[in-house]
Amino acid sequence: MEHLLEVRDVTKIYEGGILANHNVNFTVEKGEIHALVGENGAGKSTLMKMLYGLEDITSGHIYMNGEELKFSSSKDAIDHGIGMVHQHFMLVDSLTGAENMMLGLKKTSFISNRKRDIEITNEVAKQYNFDIDAGRRVRDMSVGMKQKLEILKILYRSAQLIILDEPTAVLTPQETEELFERFLDLKKRGMTIIFISHKLNEVKRISDRITVLKGGVTKGTYLTKDVSEEDISNLMVGREISFDYDKPEVKPTETVLKVSNLKYVDKFKVPKISGVSFEVRRGEIVGIAGVEGNGQSELISIITGNMKAIDGQVFLNGKDITHESVGNIRKTGMSHVPEDRMIDGCAPEMTVQENLTVSNIDTFSNKFGMIQNGKVKEFCKRQIEEFNVKTMDENQAIGSLSGGNIQKVIVAREFKADSNLLVLNQPTRGVDVGAISFIHSKILEMRSDNKAILLVSADLNELISLSDRILVMHKGKIVGALNNSPKVTEQELGLYMLGLKKQEGLG
Amino acid sequence: MMQFFLSPTFWKTVLASTTPVMLATLAANMMTKSGIFNLAIEGTMLICALTGVVVSAFTQNLWVGCIVAVAMGIAVSFIFGYFALIMKGAMNACGVALNLVASGGTVFVLVMLTGSKANSSALRSLTFPVVDIPILKDIPVLGTIFSGQNMVTYIGWVIVILTSWMLYKTKLGINIRAVGENPAAAKAAGLNVIFYQFVALAICGVACSFGGMYLSMGALKSFTTGMVAGRGYMSLAMDAMSQGNPIVGCLSSLLYGFSDTITVYLQLYSKIDLKLIDAFPYLFIIVVLIIIQTIRKTIAHRKEKLASLQQAS
Ligand SMILES: Nc1ncnc2c1ncn2[C@@H]1O[C@H](COP(=O)(O)OP(=O)(O)OP(=O)(O)O)[C@@H](O)[C@H]1O
Ligand SMILES: [Mg+2]
């Protein structure tokens, strides 16, 4: 039988000599959902970019329906019925959903027709049961809607082979579930999907076969029904990973962060936060749970100084920081791992070294105020080693690292800043299982070091296994403050998150 | 002394002296929208101003001169594109280099052809005619202001309108904006990024060439060394103010035309020191920029206040 897609002995060496793929082999059959898993930097995205014509192949061959593919740009891939959703969004923010939909299409007329574009987009969305607002500008869309738009874009280009590079990393469990329904639907229609994810339960749930990549080489392809999650994680990292941590006993002491009666209204005049109050003390991890869009991102933006509240106060170490600049807030003692690493977390064109030291570069200067390069280098080398960042050296541009490795650099920078408060917004998004357990152990280390930690995560497992207390947000209010010992269950959290259960008397 | 504000001829002059800056601003708008930083607008205008004069003088045909100057504008922009986009040179360095070539090169050619370092009055070059618009010219005030402008001014208006229509209403324009805003996304959608940037450069070249020709074949009847006199740089400020939108850009450049004209009138009618008066347009623009920015902020602030009030109620 002929395969839909066959990758034979494909090798990719980036300029600068980074070997990302080494003699990779795998095949994809028509109509299957094929999962691709592997650690951060294993070369998954690289392989997919070659399939999609965004990167050249250094050596090797790719065949589709028996015919060898030689792409010079993604246009060729699109013409061959291949579509790709990238790890980081590929949308033009100031254009509307419909305009993004039509971008680069040949079949549209020269003069753009707004109304018709929106109609077509809505029609396609309806056909596949997607729910998006086609007339809205992308910059005003939620991540979930953006992700759906990305997929619709591909479907509209009548792709037969769909590549999805970590499509669920930015989605809530509910959105993921919805998306999976759509995938199964697409599969029924005879489409083929290659799916990349670090969430092994998702892989297990949705895929037919799994290919494991490790260090740029294929470790093998397995039938999903034959392997368990533990088997997969074993194949990926070579050891078993468990998220059951032994948390040492730490007595929380004085209050570091105090939020009182915070309020915020967004530009569509929708109240996003309606009177939120809570405290975070030294030596405790406070988790914030909630279905995306219930005010968590706004709350974090306000606490970190990126947005201004319309009412209420934020105190850090006893100082009112409600109206301070981000720079001053950091100096007062706050570290922040932001939700969107490419936009708020790093300067992609700059080197790993510059990104690692941007916030503490002053500490490397001598008494004349000159930066001592040797010290900077040594510091960076130590962080790269400690956090196991896969990079050529400290001078590689951070944007050319794999997604998970970029995240590790940001985490390293923030954890080394020696602040009293760590605000962690989705700290392990897009990070492989091995690295997740490493970052988790670092977070617990920070807790033992008597830091106050505020953790926001869409991953309930993560929240439950790390937090000492969990606050649940619903419609801009805290509806539950749960003591996490003994551990609360996901079901319990779910009830609060959906607003089915409420505690009275919370801010 | 300020009654000249009321005279239609004053406003007519405003429109006239706006023309070159308006075209340069349009060129800058195109660059911003396509994600290019092109400092060479100044130099491109200068080269085109000379090209138009020389070719029209030698062929004694205005249109041949015009077409060759436009081709020259596109060519110079493409040279910039070659170095900045294909060879990936630093954009600001490429821009400065072209400007230096332009200011030195034009003098060199001028001396070769006329023997003069200062101007081209030895050449019998042609100029664009003044155009009277039929019915409009007979309407009192409006006729004086809007009719009887140089042909390049009208061409400029047409170019501005066509370009903004193109940018916002056509597929080409959407593609150019997509390429400028997020090249990676444009590439992933199958667009050829460099191609669209060169289209933008071509439009930039056309706008620069008319801007240059207006100076040497419209406002004046010959080429003078360094006659662009910072208008190309001014356009970068106008562009920043209009955030890339050509219609707003056109209106912002009116500001320059206005202050430039006032300067001329002040020189005629007041006893203030000439040097001080020369600084006026720039001071004026800075002040206006501050005012506009303040207004923008207040409006944004009001909106926030309003929203919070509504929530409270
Ligand atoms: N543009 C680039 N230039 C140089 N090296 C690169 C570039 N892009 C990726 N690499 C390197 O290639 C290797 C593989 O990266 P890739 O993005 O394919 O990993 P990945 O498996 O997708 O990881 P993740 O799960 O973290 O997204 C990494 O070591 C990375 O640093
Ligand atoms: Mg990747």
Give the pLDDT confidence of A439-498 residue by residue, as tens digits.
999 999 999 999 999 999 988 889 999 999 999 998 899 999 999 888 888 888 888 888
Overall average pLDDT of the A39-47 stretch: 91
Report if residue B261 sits inside a domain.
yes
CB of A42 sitting under 6 A from ligand 1: yes
C-alpha A401 to ligand 2 mean position (Å): 9
C-alpha A244 to ligand 2 mean position (Å): 27
Quick: pLDDT tens for A383-404: 999 988 988 888 999 998 988 8
CB of A20 sitting under 6 A from ligand 1: yes
From A74's Cα to the closest Cα of chain B, the distance in A is 5
* Counted domains in chain B: 1
CB of A197 sitting under 6 A from ligand 1: no
List the single residue in B with minimal CA-CA distance to A73.
Answer: B190
* B310 vs A217 pLDDT, higher one: A217
List the single residue in B with minimal CA-CA distance to A115.
Answer: B169
Flag whether residue A72 sits within 8 Å of chain B, measured between CB atoms: no
Query: Is the separation of the CB atoms in A451 and A421 below 8 Å?
Result: yes
Q: What is the pTM of this model?
A: 0.79
pLDDT band at A268 (very low <50, low <70, confident <90, very high): low
Flag whether residue B182 sits within 8 Å of chain A, measured between CB atoms: yes
CA distance B262 to B256: 10
C-alpha A169 to ligand 2 mean position (Å): 11
Mutate to test the pocket of ligand 1, among A218, A346, A402, A433 (most ligand atoms within 8 A of CB): A402
Q: What one-character DSSP code corresponds to residue A458?
A: S
pLDDT of residue B31: 96
CATH topology for A5-237 is Rossmann fold (3.40.50)
Asked whether the CA dihedral A186, A188, A192, A196 is positive or negative, the reply is: positive
Pairing of strands A271-281, A255-265: antiparallel
Report if residue B229 sits inside a domain.
yes
Closest partner CB to A90 (pick from B171, B188, B304): B188
Determine, for residues A74 and B188 on separate chains, whether the beta-carbon distance falls below 8 Å: yes
Q: How far is CA B14 from CA B10, B229, B263, in A?
A: 6, 17, 11
Flag whether residue B169 sits within 8 Å of chain A, measured between CB atoms: yes
**Secondary structure of chain B: what % helix, strand, coil (to 5)?**
80, 0, 20
From B220's Cα to the closest Cα of chain A, the distance in A is 39
* A41 vs B201 pLDDT, higher one: B201
Domain that holds residue B151: 8-312
pLDDT of residue B313: 47
Flag whether residue B243 sits within 8 Å of chain A, measured between CB atoms: no
Residue A309 has a CB neighbour count (10 Å cut-off) of: 23
Range list for CATH 3.40.50.300 in chain A: 5-237, 255-497
Q: What is the DSSP string of A381-428?
A: HHHHHHTT---SSTTSBGGGS-HHHHHHHHHHHHHTT--SEEEEESTT
Nearest-atom index, ligand 1, CA of A44? 21
Which residues of chain B are within 8 Å of residue A95 when distances are taken between CB atoms? Answer: 174, 177-178, 181
pLDDT of residue B255: 87
Nearest-atom index, ligand 1, CA of A40? 26
CB of A434 sitting under 6 A from ligand 1: no
Bridge partners of A311? A263
Which residues of chain A are within 8 Å of residue B186 when distances are taken between CB atoms? Answer: 92, 103-104
Closest partner CB to A75 (pick from B172, B190, B310): B190
Nearest-atom index, ligand 1, CA of A390? 29
Closest partner CB to A74 (pick from B171, B175, B190): B190
Which residues of chain B are within 8 Å of residue A475 when distances are taken between CB atoms? Answer: none
Flag whether residue A475 sits within 8 Å of chain B, measured between CB atoms: no
Flag whether residue A138 sits within 8 Å of chain B, measured between CB atoms: no
Report if residue B1 sits inside a domain.
no
Share the mean pLDDT of chain A.
89
- In chain B, which residues have pLDDT < 70? 1-2, 304-313
The SS3 call for residue A500 is: coil
CA distance A156 to A409: 37
Bridge partners of A280? A257
List the single residue in A with minimal CA-CA distance to B172.
Answer: A110
CB contact set of A313 (below 8 Å; sequence gap of 6+): A258, A259, A260, A261, A262, A320, A322
pLDDT band at A11 (very low <50, low <70, confident <90, very high): very high
Mutate to test the pocket of ligand 1, among A45, A87, A392, A398 (most ligand atoms within 8 A of CB): A45
Ligand 1, atom 7: closest residue by C-alpha: A400
**Alpha helices for A108-221 (secondary structure H):** 114-127, 143-156, 173-188, 200-206
CB of A401 sitting under 6 A from ligand 1: yes
Q: Which ligand is nearest to the CA of A40?
A: 1
pLDDT of residue B309: 59
C-alpha A46 to ligand 2 mean position (Å): 7
Burial B144-170 (b: 16+ CB within 10 A, else e): bbbbbbbbbbebbbebbeebbebbeee
CB of A403 sitting under 6 A from ligand 1: yes
Query: Is the separation of the CB atoms in A243 and A236 below 8 Å?
Result: no
Which residues of chain B are within 8 Å of residue A400 when distances are taken between CB atoms? Answer: none
Burial A115-149 (b: 16+ CB within 10 A, else e): eebbebbbebbeeeebebbbeeebeebbbbbbbbb
Which residues of chain A are within 8 Å of residue B164 when distances are taken between CB atoms? Answer: none
Ligand 1, atom 24: closest residue by C-alpha: A40
Determine, for residues A104 and B186 on separate chains, whether the beta-carbon distance falls below 8 Å: yes
Overall average pLDDT of the A154-178 stretch: 85
Which residues of chain A are within 8 Å of residue B191 when distances are taken between CB atoms? Answer: 103-104
Report if residue B64 sits inside a domain.
yes
Q: Does residue A216 surpass a pLDDT of 60?
A: yes
Nearest-atom index, ligand 1, CA of A18? 5
CATH number of the domain at B27, please.
Answer: 1.10.3470
The CATH number corresponding to A255-497 among 3.40.50.1100, 3.40.50.300, 3.30.110.40, 3.30.565.10 equals 3.40.50.300
Q: Residue A238: left if φ>0, alpha if ψ -120 to 50, beta else—which one? A: left
Which residues of chain B are within 8 Å of residue A311 when distances are taken between CB atoms? Answer: 308
